[in-house]
Amino acid sequence: MQGILNILKAPGMTSHDMVAAIRRKFGVKRVGHGGTLDPPAAGILVLMLGKATRLSEYVTEMDKTYRGEITFGVRTDTQDATGSILTSHPVELTAYGVEEAFAHFTGRIEQVPPMVSAVKQGGKRLYQLARRGETIRRPSRPVTIKRLELIEFSPGEEGYPRALFECHCSKGTYIRTLAADIGEHLACGAHLSFLLRTAVGPFEIDDSWLWEEIKDCSHLSQCLLPLTSVLGKLPRVIIKPRAVESVSHGNRLYPAGIEDMCPPLAPDQIVRLEQPAGNLIALARWVEGTSNWYFHPYKVFQEL
């Protein structure tokens, strides 16, 4: 069994919990996810089953979209609502002030990964060190905030304003850190009090499956999307039916084995070889020789 599963993770579960549940329920050995979602957060988790795990780099590179809430005036040691309060004091803040701060954090910015993240440093996950009460220096990383929009602003109770926002960002963005950094920029402190991931690349929350729905499926294949669903940006080459077996063995594909393609292609261009359209046979590189050209398969997905 192989394919892509767009699942809606409930708050309280880890991403690994979701992977383990699929393995146990359906007996699928190879299951991976395309980007961790923190346990307190809910939202889309893109799972790859079977040979689809070989496409993980395409999923992890996808942009993410979040709907979240920032609570101002309260700093926590985890930068979200699950942590211990470090400081707390009422603040005066306006929607205009928040929007100005959002504009400051839109575009290419630097982030320091939180201590509760899964980033490895010195051979250890940061969250493992945090559980032991350790805090170490972490180098900042560039991320891109492509859109940061204020949806709703509330003065809050007892002087602790809240801002509901939507964020479209590059891979590797820590939304909890974004919330905390915005609070520091406004000199009042803040933490992320709610988070929902609404999209991962082309995968949207309206099209996701609940775990309860998946458990009731007679066969998991009913819920799976084709491998090509994560490869929309790659050029498609339709190969002739008689070339499928050869390509599946990793052999070169010459012009005689091609049914349809869209030239021109750049040197070393990665393409998806399909037969029929929508059924991924392999990923291949375009190789242009002195007297001829061909495609060299380097990842084969067709199960013979």
CB proximity list for 50: less than 8 A, separation 6 or greater: 1, 2, 3, 28, 30
List, in sequence order, every beta strand (DSSP E) within 10-140.
31-33, 42-49, 64-72, 74-76, 85-88, 107-111, 120-121, 124-125
H/E element, 190:
strand 190-200
Please indicate whether residue 17 is annotated as part of the active site: no
The answer, yes or no, to whether the previous bond of 142 is cis (omega within 30 of 0) is no
Q: How many degrees, rounded to 5, is the angle at CA 180 between CA 179 and CA 183?
A: 90
Q: From the centroid of its chain, how far is CA 40?
A: 16
CA distance 35 to 33: 6
Torsion angle defined by CA atoms of residues 46, 50, 52 and 55, in that order, rounded to the nearest 10 degrees = 100
Q: Which of 38, 80, 181, 207 is catalytic?
A: 38
Active site residues: 38
